[in-house]
Amino acid sequence: MRSKIAAGNWKMNLDKTSAATLIEGLSLDGIGDTKVIVAVPSCYLSLALESTSDSRIIVAAQNAHHEQSGAYTGEISFQMLQSMGITHCLIGHSERRQYNGETNDIIKKKIDLCLEHGLTPIFCCGEPLEVRERELHKDYVLTQLKENILHLTTEEVSNIIIAYEPIWAIGTGVTATADQAQEMHAYLRSALANHYDSATASKISILYGGSVKPANAKELFANEDVDGGLVGGASLKADSFNAIMRSF
């Protein structure tokens, strides 16, 4: 049975004091076997690891470089993350693609390095508004799958978490309807089943990432193929993220 996951992406927010306060405010009471992940800025990774050492909260990195090591000032490698005890990393987030010029080739390299160092990739995919309006969104995300992860073996892809993020719904306050989310998640799972097999596809958690908040989380998570959320702004407040954790 695949995992139910509440993942928070803090992006470039919070100072050190606010970050510590937020982690302290997270409560896992009553969430059952739901996995909780917080993707924090790199400068807070050690703080987050220390603060969650006695809890089930998983600390994830928001990014790492697509080369093993070298003269890349300011970058972080997957080997560095592994040595710190980080077990998960976001890869392919739409903001990295849009603002940092990350191509499908770069993202593929990151996926490979992430797995090579024993980390779990949280692979992000999704379409911009103009693609959705032209009703080409399924072709768009299928291309992302083909160029980013479908080269992996069955064993490797089984260790990936996928986050579907309609770019038109990130930070806009607009959310895909529950039906739209289910349609795309089911499509992603069918694409995985067609390339691998149904058993493999059924094991992979697919998260929805597009303006998830307490008011809509329960309806979104009730869908058969929506296994949780990659939460942005609502993960920056303990009370709202706590509520999302309990929405399964």
**Residue among 93, 16, 21, 27 nearest 57 (CA):** 27
| SS3 state at 81 | helix
- C-alpha distances in angstroms, 157 versus 105, 117, 162, 195, 201? 17, 14, 10, 11, 9
- C-alpha distances in angstroms, 113 versus 37, 72, 118, 132? 21, 16, 9, 31
**Residue among 96, 191, 95, 83 nearest 140 (CA):** 191
DSSP run (H or E) holding 162: strand 161-164
Determine whether 130 is an active site residue: no
Question: Which tokens hold the place of 51?
Answer: 């603060």
| SS3 state at 125 | strand
The alpha carbon of 75 is separated from its chain's Cα centroid by a whole number of angstroms, namely 20
Q: Which of 95, 137, 165, 185 is catalytic?
A: 165
Cβ count near 174 (within 10 Å): 12
Q: Which of 93, 117, 137, 185 is catalytic?
A: 93
The tokens 């995985």 sit on which residue?
192
Question: Which tokens hold the place of 7?
Answer: 């993942």
Cβ count near 195 (within 10 Å): 17
Cβ count near 96 (within 10 Å): 18
Distance CA 230, CA 53 (A): 22
Determine whether 165 is an active site residue: yes
Catalytic residues: 93, 165
